Amino acid sequence: MLAKRLFDLLFTIPGFLLLAPFMLIIAIWIRLDSKGPVFFRQERVGQSGKPFRILKFRTMCIDAEAKGRQITVGNDPRITKSGTFLRKYKLDELPQLLNVIKGEMSLVGPRPEVPRYVAMYPEDTRQIVLSVPPGITDFASIEYKDENDILGAAANPDKAYIEEILPAKLGYYLRYVQTRSLKLDFMLIVKVLPQNLWVTDLPKMV
């Protein structure tokens, strides 16, 4: 939808320019804190099933995926010192503004998953969820902001994610797709910003 694309660019480009100096400081911190690249790239499934490389600030040691799960749980030993802080305040997600500018993502939409988990979506659900661009935030991101801690307390994190959290997230993804509007996008952005800027929670809006 053209209006949604314009909405994304209207917020994303000024936001990226404003945050660029702060992101540079984060990049320097990451390089000083541990060996490895500043950014983490991973294949995710986008709109219509098209794969793309999601961009994040690196928060884990080199070759983290080869050393463990694709999901992060609790006090994962692979997480760096800077990564602990970046993850807590969702600052590792900031580079995804570039994914939005490139048109691979939207500010608001179902979070993009790795191919392994998308293959587990029920067929009818997959078609609906992948009919829109994936987003940086959505209902599920808000409701499961403490997902890592939840999985860290599970006896089998992979099983807990596949059998409990993923189905719940899919419900939120469907809810977003079926009720999406620019007004809803704006309300979700307003709701999620205070959580990441160390401000007290706003009253529930959605």
The DSSP string of 78-127 is: TB-HHHHHHHHTTGGGTTHHHHHHTTS-EEESPPPPPHHHHTTS-HHHHH
How many percent of the chain have pLDDT more than 70? 88
For residue 67, give the DSSP letter: G
pLDDT one-digit tens code per residue, 84-104: 999 888 899 999 999 999 999
Q: What pTM does this model have? A: 0.87
Q: How much is the pLDDT for 100?
A: 98
Which residue blocks in the chain are alpha helix, DSSP H? 2-33, 81-88, 96-101, 115-118, 123-129, 139-143, 147-152, 157-160, 166-179, 182-196
For the chain, the domains span 2-196
